[in-house]
């Protein structure tokens, strides 16, 4: 299992490598959820331990928060949850 610090490092690297727009990184502590059902993406329906990384992106009237879900065992980025929906991660 990866650590919270490693999850943070992976998420921030993912944001920067994909050139995602952001205002603030890690505006809340990295969260850990045990036995969480994955609701979106290629691993939909699986029960996994996940880390959730929070970052803020610009919005029309105000900043909006997004969440990056990472597999706690492998560090794989699973999906990004936005204010309205989710973004599946393509390899």
**What is the distance between the alpha carbons of residues 43 and 47, in angstroms, rounded to a whole number?**
9
The predicted pLDDT at position 77 comes to 93
Q: Which residue has the tokens 């309205």?
A: 84
pLDDT of residue 25: 84
> Domain range spanning residue 52?
4-88
Mean pLDDT of all residues belonging to the chain: 88
- 87 or 2, higher pLDDT: 2
Q: Whole-model pTM?
A: 0.86
Measured distance CA(49)–CA(36) in Å, rounded? 6
pLDDT per residue over 25-58, tens digit each?
A: 877 889 999 999 998 888 989 999 999 999 987 7
- Into how many domains does the chain fold? 1
Q: Which residue has the higher pLDDT, 84 or 48?
A: 48
């Amino acid at each position: 299992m990866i650590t919270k610090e490693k999850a943070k490092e992976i998420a921030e690297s993912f944001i920067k490598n994909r050139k995602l727009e952001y205002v603030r990184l890690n505006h809340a502590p990295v969260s850990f959820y045990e036995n969480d059902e994955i609701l979106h993406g290629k691993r939909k329906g699986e029960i996994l331990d996940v880390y959730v990384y929070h970052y803020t992106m610009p919005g029309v009237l105000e900043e909006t928060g997004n969440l990056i879900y990472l597999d706690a065992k492998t560090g794989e980025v699973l999906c990004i949850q936005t204010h309205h929906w989710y973004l599946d991660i393509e390899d």
